[in-house]
């Protein structure tokens, strides 16, 4: 996504969700750009049929909580 596409997506999502991000928009856009960069790295890693998902971290004492 280009920076303009990212801004349009963030703005449209905020409107759709009824969120006022005006005072935080610059930070939201920076984080969204970071997240899209991380997504590109993850998407570039080939996964095979036999690859397993990562383990789930469960803090001590919470393992029995439903």
Rounded Cα distance between 9 and 6, Å, is 5
Rounded Cα distance between 27 and 46, Å, is 31
Residue 53 falls inside a structural domain: no
pLDDT tens per residue, range 10-66: 999 999 999 999 999 999 999 999 999 999 998 998 988 888 887 887 777 666 656
Domain count, the chain: 1
The domain of 14 spans 3-43
pTM beyond 0.85, yes or no: no
Residue 24 falls inside a structural domain: yes
Tell me, what's the pLDDT at 50? 86
Residue 58 falls inside a structural domain: no
Residue 21 falls inside a structural domain: yes
Nearest to 30 by CA among 21, 20, 17: 21
Residue 59 falls inside a structural domain: no
Tell me, what's the pLDDT at 47? 86
Residue 50 falls inside a structural domain: no
How far is residue 44 CA from its own chain's centroid?
Answer: 16
């Amino acid at each position: 996504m280009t920076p303009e596409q990212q801004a349009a997506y963030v703005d449209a999502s905020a409107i759709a969700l009824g969120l006022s991000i005006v005072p935080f928009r610059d930070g939201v856009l920076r984080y969204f750009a970071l997240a899209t960069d991380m997504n590109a790295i993850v998407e570039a890693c080939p996964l095979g049929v036999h690859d397993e998902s990562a383990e789930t971290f469960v803090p001590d004492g919470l393992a029995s909580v439903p």
